[in-house]
Amino acid sequence: VFRVCVPEVAISEAIEHAARVDVVLWPDGQPAPVSIEDVQLLVPPRRLAAMTTDELALMPRLEVIQLLTAGSDPWLGLAPQTVTLCSGQGIHGSSTAELAVAAVLHQIRDLARYERQQADRRWQPGERHSIAGSNVAVLGAGDIGGRVADVLTILGARVVVVSRTAREGILSPDEFRPLIAEQNVVVVATPLTAQTRGMVGKEFLAALPDQAVVVNVARGPIVDTNALLAELHSGRLSAALHVTDPEPLAGHPLWTAPNLLLTPHVGGGSMGWQQRAGALVQRQIGHLLRAEPLENVVG
């Protein structure tokens, strides 16, 4: 019997339970289940940032940690060499890309202004910026960044995609640096690494043109919160954050910053994600049982 541990009933239900597979549940905020010591594939609880090595030592038979998130930064280097770490890339990609597009359009078309007019019962058309004709930089060439770039191109934006290593159609950070001053929109969709931490900092933000929009759907620490706050308060830039640094926010100046749309890490949290997660776990089990390479291996 192959033992799998997942954090939600809906994911468990999305896995077809073959005779050779046993699925146990470890819900968010609960202690580990009794049968944890037999677990071979672990899908950790969602709200668990990472595990301690002591906790991991409770699972001597563990072969795979399958994350539900596209990012895997807190887990890297944590598990013993015998354990393969796999990201949840693809589970939330389309949903996060769609929230990024929603946020870009919300900010560049200034929908909040129409919501205020609606509250005041004022019919007041006026000309606003549009994504058509805008320059957009997408930082990150993965599933999310690729979808955002495709969509905004169809809507008439001139899009550049930036990634660690330049390749056909993709700029390196060094190639991109001189172009920052031309970008009306920046979408952050790159993993958090030592290189990307603080990448969108004071200098980067200061180089953006007036009225530029910064959207972060990746990880909070890629954007320098204090530098962004200063630009928001000056009215020069606007932003949409699905992720923040710190996160979650409690009594933080971001709550009251002007020109900001805050969506509390809900990029991937759209209905149907459990089915996509279950399907991925199911495929990974198949790979293990057939001794095939796993998908989404990150460590």
Which string of x and - marks every residue 205-244 that binds a copy of itself (by CB under 8 A)?
A: ----------------------------------------
Q: 295: which residues sit within 8 A by CB, 6+ positions away?
A: 86, 280, 283, 284, 287
Options 92, 147, 219, 276, the catalytic residue = 219
Work out the burial of residue 276: count CB atoms within 10 Å of its CB; fewer than 13 is exposed, 13-18 middle, 19 or more buried: buried
Whether 265 sits among the annotated catalytic residues: the reply is: yes
| Amino acid (one-letter) located at 50 | A
Strand 170-171 versus strand 185-188 pairing type: unpaired
Return the structure tokens found at 184. 């009306």
Which element (helix H / strand E) includes 186? strand 185-188
Binding mask 73-112 for a copy of itself (x = CB under 8 A): ---------------------xx-xxx-xx--xx--x-xx
Residue appearing with tokens 């933000």 = 205
Closest CA to 60 of 98, 3, 13: 3
| H or E stretch at 162 | strand 158-162
Using CB under 8 A as the binding rule, whether residue 159 contacts a copy of itself is answered as no
Helix, strand or coil, per DSSP, at residue 174: helix
Tell which one of 75, 176, 204, 273 touches a copy of itself (CB under 8 A): 273
219 is catalytic: yes
- Name the one range near a copy of itself by CB under 8 A: 26-34, 113-121, 189-197, 222-230: 113-121
Question: Quick check: 117 binds a copy of itself (CB under 8 A)?
Answer: yes
Q: Does 17 bind a copy of itself (CB under 8 A)?
A: no
- Among residues 22, 38, 63, 150, which is the contact residue for a copy of itself, using CB under 8 A? 150
Query: In the block, which residue shows the tokens 């002007």?
Result: 258
Binding-site ranges for a copy of itself (CB under 8 A): 94-95, 97-99, 101-102, 105-106, 109, 111-112, 114-115, 117-118, 121, 123-133, 147, 150-151, 154-156, 248-251, 255-256, 260-266, 269-273
Catalytic residues: 219, 265
